[in-house]
Structure 1
């Protein structure tokens, strides 16, 4: 809770100051479609703060926006491997959430994580896995390997979507090739490029826009995509023949985090919003909407029944799960070269 809130009641002037703050704005930039209207309405009703949401479709786009000075954003939601980059670039405000009461609700293994070891800059918002979703009405064969995505059978060729985010695509290709994540070896990255170039003629679209991917899967415009677990569940609810795959090579995992960009005009409102989102009942609203896994304890009583046994949210025992890493400058340069070459 912020300093103004702590001293509420100390005097009429402070009370008026808080009231004026509560009637203010909050400018959020996030992955597209991350907030249910119900959640934002609830926050506005409780606080009087109106939330405006802008969106991006890759961590790289967010980094570019913030480096350019943003447009007055108060809250952003980068993936975990980008938090150290944003801190290093001096693009985040330190607000020490680990010292706030709500931080106790964060699941133990995501408190003070490796990407924010002091809990100074970020609070986990949602987490999940990245793998392959395929329409089993079109494809009847085995789904136990990432070969399905990178060396697709005839019935899926030209029916595939890949993310347009270099990091996620290169990470998944590295998992398939059994190459270390964030490799600095040019020969290994050449293998990644060769794989992605060989796959490219079979790729119909490169997009990370979750809503568009879901609609295209449901309508049959595409039959397979690199996708996130919760988003795949939402797609399956539209088209039951869709299956989320747990390949033998493993799946990538990610954590999206709430942060306050440097120069936020409404930092107190940002802190209130982050505390609000970290309450179990509100975190459950987020999970019910996005279908990904929640990093907040105590959400279970508030969850929709459909989440209890959804295969997209329950990773099979023995599945290799790899969290994306924060790459070195050398690895980032190599990855950028691979992506630029691929997109020519």
Structure 2
């Protein structure tokens, strides 16, 4: 009898669609600290799919992971300027989200964007700005320019964190020096290198790990850092004296997007996860947790009150906002050389 039941069970299992057999797993790789336990629990409760999350601290690290075979990831969350690179390297699955009903809820200026003009490979997950956060209790002097970061006053020297993402560090330095993003001019890159080398003695750490940066700011281990707007708000909730700067040179803007890496073993689950995260109530849960801006319409009724007047999320009128760009091979080579030189 038991053999017969076992045989029937095996036959039934083999007859089920593959997506149903695999429905209990989903492997996600994202920026560190991007998902609250609550939203993952809600998704699992609704779908029965258990989510495992791995993390990275730069787009370059993600690119290297996916080039090495992706280690079984089903969803990744790269920044917008890396999407064309991932497409060109054939590291993404085409799943045509622009044809899905939920895509109508994406804010208009992020639908079929320049980095994915057909809306074929990506869905925006969260967006925001990159600037500088500093401890306004330790330093009360001028802070209307990135000069405070690159030529720090005595009270901030040795108390600075810079990202360890090549592209973001170079983009911000380019903004300060009024050099075009993705420059392929060796002389201009030499200028950037000179600026970063002169700053280096005053830098305590190079890290893009949002949680560690927040904790170090809150504990007074560092007093200034390159940081994202929403992450700065989360840090300010821990240490009220922190302030996010809108320098006269402008701020960088970014969009992190949900994609399906090539070779995903659970593509149906990946699509279900992306659909789930694109619903206004769930997108609001993401915004309430990360504090960055949401790319989904209709989140307002579900947002925490503190987000509605947070200075980190409301860009002052007249502020120059510059979206990071996808650099050509020449610029990437120069940037890699610069970074190797800087980190010696």
Name the Cα RMSD after superposition: 1.5
Give the CA deviation at 1:17: 3.6
Q: Is the 8 A contact 2:105 2:296 kept in 1?
A: yes
- Structure 1 CA distance for aligned equivalents of residues 86 and 18 of structure 2: 30
Aligned partner of residue 313 in structure 1, secondary structure: coil
C-alpha contact (below 8 Å) 1:175/1:250 kept by paired residues: yes
2:282 aligned partner:
282
Alpha-carbon distance in structure 1 between the residues aligned to 2:257 and 2:251: 20
Look up the match of 2:167: 167
Distance 1:169 1:94 in 2: 31
SS at 1:197 equivalent: helix
Deviation at 1:70, TM superposition (A): 1.4
Q: Judge which range, 19-28 or 233-242, deviates more.
A: 19-28
Deviation at 1:183, TM superposition (A): 0.2
What is the correspondence of 1:1-344 to structure 2 with a 5 Å cutoff?
17=17, 20-21=20-21, 23-344=23-344
Calculate the TM-score normalised by the size of structure 2: 0.95
* Runs of 4+, deviation exceeding 3 Å: 15-19
Query: TM-score of the superposition, structure 1-length normalised?
Result: 0.95
Distance 2:113 2:94 in 1: 15
Cα distance in 2 for partners of 1:309, 1:340 equals 41
CA change 1:203–1:299 in 2 (3 A) is same
Quick one: distance in 1 between partners of 2:141 and 2:21?
58
Point out the structure with max Rg over C-alpha.
Answer: 2
Question: Is the CA contact (8 Å cut-off) linking 2:19 and 2:268 kept in structure 1?
Answer: no
- Please list every run of 5 or more consecutive structure 2 residues that lacks an aligned counterpart in the other structure: 1-11
C-alpha contact (below 8 Å) 1:26/1:270 kept by paired residues: yes
Task: Report what 2:9 is aligned to.
Answer: none
SS of the equivalent of 1:93 reads: coil
Counterparts of 2:159 and 2:286, CA distance in 1 = 31
Instruction: Quote the Cα distance in structure 1 between the aligned partners of 2:285 and 2:58.
Output: 24
Question: How far apart, in 2, do the equivalents of 1:163 and 1:72 lie?
Answer: 27
CA contact (8 A) 1:22 1:48 kept: no
- Structure 1: gaps (5+ residues): 1-11
8 Å Cα contact 1:22-1:47 kept in structure 2: no
Contact 1:21-1:269 at 8 Å conserved across structures: no
